[in-house]
Structure 1
């Protein structure tokens, strides 16, 4: 993570309308707060909602905490993302498996990829390696849980980023 070239992180869930856009905005908030030269984006493993805004319930709950998701639009994870990003964060184990499938495709296509793949909660002491449950078919508490976990996991990643700034 040199001071000139931003480190690039991609948050990935299934449809890119609930969890990963929330993770994107929350992680970006903490990166900006710490003045880290990190670019954060999001995508989905599926192509269910291309170009769609995040779920209105996600937007509503996020806005209550000061996070604005309204400008985001869903897109699908593609093999070239493994060249463009340094770190790809999966929201759950199924996402992780699907991401790794696309990573293998990218490695076959490009020979070498740049991105490391991990769970969003990999370093989180509060939610250690726990999936961010998909709130899409649930109630309001599911969206609040996603925000709680995104805040906790993002703070854990910020500590990792700060520790490793001098190594890259």
Structure 2
């Protein structure tokens, strides 16, 4: 199982959006049973809360359901269990690097490193802005998650068990 964890500050806007986008992509790609997708915040400001209503509305318009998500803060166990820990911006990446045990720091990256359509390093926080910010978050997440999906699909195929011969087939 490959585990992907998306991280922003409060886990109510950007990271749950990235989680919903990537979860749909891995499901549509037929690898949902091999990939665990989650999100968390570097801070506990909103633990237990649903995603921002504006994130939910923007996501719903594009076919993503964020309604079941509840914000949580990253834990020490996340650093060891996740294969990819992807921050939305430099501040959260810095906080992750500060908290993360050194042995797991190689897992920490910015999500936008996987983008190919948008030349931006970070996904800006839409919380204090208008609707356009939430749509931009979706644009960036869809782009970066598509690039990430290609990496994850290759990794899934690397770890897939060899096909077993069907009954009646000759074994060589």
Q: TM-score, normalised by structure 1?
A: 0.88
Residue pairs, 1:12-161, within 5 angstroms: 12-36=7-31, 37-103=34-100, 106-107=101-102, 112-113=103-104, 116-128=107-119, 130-161=121-152
Q: What secondary structure sits across from 1:39 in the alignment? A: strand
Which residue is 2:169 aligned to?
none
After the TM superposition, which parts of structure 1 deviate over 4 Å for at least 4 consecutive aligned residues?
A: none
Structure 2 runs not aligned, ≥5 long:
160-172
Structure 1 runs not aligned, ≥5 long:
1-5
Residues matched between the structures, number = 157
CA distance in 2 between counterparts of 1:114 and 1:96 reads: 10
Q: CA deviation at 1:114?
A: 8.5
Question: 1:88–1:115: 8 Å Cα contact kept in structure 2?
Answer: no
CA distance in 2 between counterparts of 1:129 and 1:156 reads: 14
Q: CA deviation at 1:141?
A: 0.3
Q: CA deviation at 1:123?
A: 2.0
Q: CA deviation at 1:164?
A: 2.8
Which structure has the bigger radius of gyration?
A: 2
Q: What secondary structure sits across from 1:121 in the alignment? A: helix
CA distance in 1 between counterparts of 2:43 and 2:133 reads: 21
Q: CA deviation at 1:120?
A: 0.6
CA distance in 1 between counterparts of 2:27 and 2:63 reads: 14
Alignment RMSD (CA, Å): 1.5
Q: CA deviation at 1:161?
A: 1.4
